[in-house]
Structure 1
């Protein structure tokens, strides 16, 4: 199988109006999705989106492509990505499609696709779709079109799903929560879930206008959330990203709790409950402190390629039910088949209640290795593996930092960035290495 042209780490992503996020491409993509995934005419394809100004336009074009293959669609409009995964299974759809640029700013958008089981597509299926994109013939016979319809109140379907995971007497009335919805797809759903469960909820970034999604808010911008947690003396701060599949938390003292912390806390709780978790799946970005901490608990750790799709596939292979990335993708496959920020948040709040501990108390014993992550913007993709200058400096610092260290330099699969991650035992050495490598890349 040749390399993929359009699908990257998490679906298809790009600047709206530039390849591949153009009307003609979305039309071909819609038709390819209908051909590859719409095997049974009686099944439908669910389509949803986030709050970006471009979302409705792209949804209309992509839906037209799907309908032209004779496959009917179910529209859910603005709804979180994990809700699409759930609704695809609930309505016995043949696939679910989300139009979202995730944690990126409004001028980016993208396509994430789930199969009939609510699982992100394998590379083989993505390859099949790409083959049809490149070879599709755009001709239409109106009498053969599928039908477009809307699901009535899909938000309540997902809200009830999230709440029914827990017993009827599950209440959050003791918690004050600062909730940042990033002006994204969770802006109505998330506050209602936590309020219905009795929490005092103070909301941030719940007024989307099409262009403010993730702008100084959400899981990649927690500075104001941290300030608000301390100001309100809240128990916890929750920062979702634009499509709700990531979560970053703030404890009551203002410490950032990332995906590594979260999955460790959940794994430890599952172990105490004697659940058969099989192990935990992470990536090359997972902090070594978490891996060693899990080992002490007797919990195996498995490394997958970056991206929650790859994490889930590795979970299936090793019969694990827990997987995560530091960025906040948390997969609890006993509850949902993809990263779900709301469900991960409910799980942490449940653990806090069950153990009568603050989030700080649950996380403070986790010993992280010093790790620095630097994102370097670039105008085009760089072949890092073949760049001798970069490879030479990486080799130099690997020797400098010693055996208990890691250096990862990679092209982002979702944005035009080179990501540099350096980890080791000594913070000053790690910082020196990370910044020197980053400055070298900037000069390329």
Structure 2
């Protein structure tokens, strides 16, 4: 079945343009509600959101959809995506919804769905919901219409859960930490959790106004965080994205540390303590070859999946791994969470920092990444990757690599972009190959 609405991470798009309209959001609520109404119990859905202006509109539309088919709604307000996953499971809800476009700018929004187990929906569930979106709706009888209520202590519940992932014998006293919350969903919970664990916290990106989410801040733009870490002589900087499911770190020298280095640290630490399962970790095809070589040197493996943290989680569950993630900073530790959690991942990094006694600049750079370059080409429609000249450019690049590097070309699942990535021993060759393929894609598009 060709997907009309769902991409690699739920439904996403520009607000007030299909599929991100109030009308479609209401229909998603009705379709998802109908799909998950099973049995005679009173059904419940948990809804959280980030801080973008359109969240109010989308939240109201989803409430209308769910209640119209007889589901009760629990509203969390602005909360991280992993908090919605956690509370869906702990509140014994039938479904969880996060209204967020993650790291995108405020004009976009999205709908992410979680099952009663707190995991993102499977492809089968998403296809089933798509099939119901344009079907006639079976509305609840007047006396069976759902009710909606807000939970006031949701932030406290999540902070408590996050802190429980941090080793009990450790504290963050003596550490000066700069945290950039991207003016997003974690603007209250992240600084609070770090402060309660004893850190000297310097907060950034904690004044959301509906339109400044991810705007020159957070994990996708760390320049201000790097400056603040240097200016305040902080021990480390933590950057979250708009819905706080990804993490990028800045060391004490102001250098950016990506998800590959963080996964290497977390996995090797867990392996040293005898807590790593699966004999390695799970990452996507975008992770650097340097990570794979580092793990091999530790006697560990790297299991690769296609791009998308949901596919990482699926592989972790199927193969018995407990650490996985993406270079972009989605890091999943299944002992503590069912999805990527930037704050939980940050606490694991901080625990390693405290125990090692080393400066972050020494601790967080475990391998030298191979030269890697990613460029995006926007396209309006069609299938540019099927163009003969594009395929010829790709074949030529693969021949030039001769097994010494990798090439990953794919269509984005969240934006109208073709992503072209290459890595290898020679940085000039990598750049030339990427530019050659991008030029071919532009002409085809």
One fold, TM greater than 0.5? yes
Q: Partner residue of 2:229? A: 229
Aligned partners of 2:70 and 2:139 also within 8 Å = no
Q: Superposition RMSD on alpha carbons, in Å?
A: 1.4
SS in 1 for 2:313: helix
Q: Name the counterpart of 1:30.
A: 29
Can you list the C-alpha shifts for 1:102-159, whole angstroms capped at 9, x where unaligned?
A: 0000010000011011000000000110111121337564322011112221000000
TM-score (norm 2): 0.96
Rounded Cα–Cα distance in structure 1 between residues aligned with 2:71 and 2:36: 9
CA contact (8 A) 1:43 1:92 kept: no
Secondary structure of the residue aligned to 1:135 is: coil
How far 1:364 moved relative to its partner? 2.8
Q: Residue 134 of structure 1 aligns with which residue?
A: 134
Classify the secondary structure of the residue corresponding to 1:419.
Answer: strand
Q: 2:235 aligned with 1:269, yes or no?
A: no
Distance in 2 between residues matched to 1:404 and 1:181, nearest whole Å: 38
How big is the shift at 1:259?
A: 0.7
1:95 is displaced (CA, Å) by 1.1
Residue 69 of structure 2 contacts residue 139 of structure 2 at CA under 8 Å; is this kept in 1? Answer: no
Which piece of structure 1 moves more, 158-167 or 120-129?
Answer: 158-167
Structure 1: state its 5+ residue gaps.
Answer: none
Per-residue CA deviations over 1:307-352 (Å, capped at 9, x if unaligned) read 1111100001110001110111000001101000000000000011
Q: Which residue of 2 aligns with 1:361?
A: 362
Map residues 161-240 of structure 1 onto 2, 5 A cutoff.
161-240=161-240
User: What corresponds to 2:3 in structure 1?
Assistant: 4
CA distance in 1, matches of 2:159, 2:389: 51
Residue 35 to residue 139, structure 1, CA distance change in 2 (3 Å): closer
For the pair 1:340 / 2:341, whether they are aligned, the reply is: yes
Contact 1:382 1:411 in 2 (8 A): no
Structure 1 distance, partners of 2:422, 2:167, is 43
Contact residue 38 and residue 44 of structure 1 kept, 8 A? no
Measured after TM superposition, the shift of residue 31 of structure 1 is 0.3
Unaligned runs of 5+ in 2: none
Moved over 6 A (4+): none
Asked if the contact 2:353–2:359 (Cα under 8 Å) also holds between the matched residues in 1, the reply is: yes
Alignment of 1:319 with 2:320, yes or no, is yes
Q: TM-score, normalised by structure 1?
A: 0.97
Matched with 1:106 is: 106
Matched-pair contact (CA < 8 Å) for 1:28–1:136: no
> How many residue pairs align between the two structures?
442
Which stretch of structure 1 is more off in the superposition, 196-205 or 264-273? Answer: 196-205
Equivalent pair of 1:28/1:138 in contact (CA under 8 Å): no
Distance in 2 between the 1:319 and 1:167 partners?
23
Conserved? CA contact 2:165–2:347, under 8 Å: no
Equivalent position of 2:413 in the other structure: 413
Q: Which stretch has the larger CA shift, 332-341 or 408-417?
A: 408-417
CA distance in 1, matches of 2:406, 2:49: 37
